[in-house]
Structure 1
Amino acid sequence: MAVDVETEIVIDRPRAEVAAFCADPDNATRWYRNITAVEWVTAPPLAAGSRLAFVASFLGRRLSYTYEVREHVPGERFVMSTQEGPFPMRTTYTWEDADAETGTGTLMRLRNDGEPSGFAGVAAPMMARAMRSANRKDLALLKQVLEG
């Protein structure tokens, strides 16, 4: 069973600022509650093909995985994916002006999708609920960090 979780939030900061902060792997531990470390596997700067090693905790388990950047359109879209472990996943960030007329604020969407296998596949509905909850908390923290 596939997992596809999308959450969104409006942040009262310019889109370029929000996107630059979120797409910088060195900021991940500031707004993702479950990510404890990020290490560059390939040398900066960030570009398609960049690889990043993450350490996180999720559902009480320590996870280590490597994301590869698939797409990076500054200020618009950032996509990375991992093929490792029982839960290959893609993470997509998109940003757009929250108020198209005035260009103020940013609507950010965070999407995690993947095709878990083995036990992870059986637990997919529970994982999706946990991911949605975690993503909402992460986006709320991001809003606090950037607007604070």
Structure 2
Amino acid sequence: MHDLREIVDAILYVNRTGIAWEYLPHDFPPYKTVHSYFTRWAADGTTETIHGLLRGKVRRAVGRDTEPTAAIIDSQSVKTSSNVPESSQGIDASRDVSRCPSGGPSNAPTAGSCSTVDSSVTTKHHQNTPVPTSTGP
């Protein structure tokens, strides 16, 4: 049996470096053993329990409650219609809007014109309807 500290260090090494399990350096326990512990702990909730306990300890150390009191709701970037006022468009500074996903309204002015929309909100995009003009008296 291997020391559990060596097992945890090996798991953290794989996580930090992103290497495949089979390329784990030989100064750690065999990769099949390390991977076996990792999958067992993930399946039985040990990893989640440790994460929760450590998160609580860190939060207490900085003077916060052990459990978060707020949540962040995810959003997605979509192409914006040219007839939507800028004042009603949201922005998300963490998104690269020049790479918006396709599928926005067909009348979007440029590929880089996007708006952040709450994923729980359903929006309708209306096509520009031509206004009939008078041809004379």
Comparing both structures, which one devotes a greater share of its residues to helix?
2
Larger RCO, structures 1/2 (Cα 8 Å, 6+ apart) = 1
Larger Rg: 2
TM-score > 0.5, shorter chain as reference: no
TM-score by length of 1: 0.22
- Calculate the TM-score normalised by the size of structure 2: 0.23
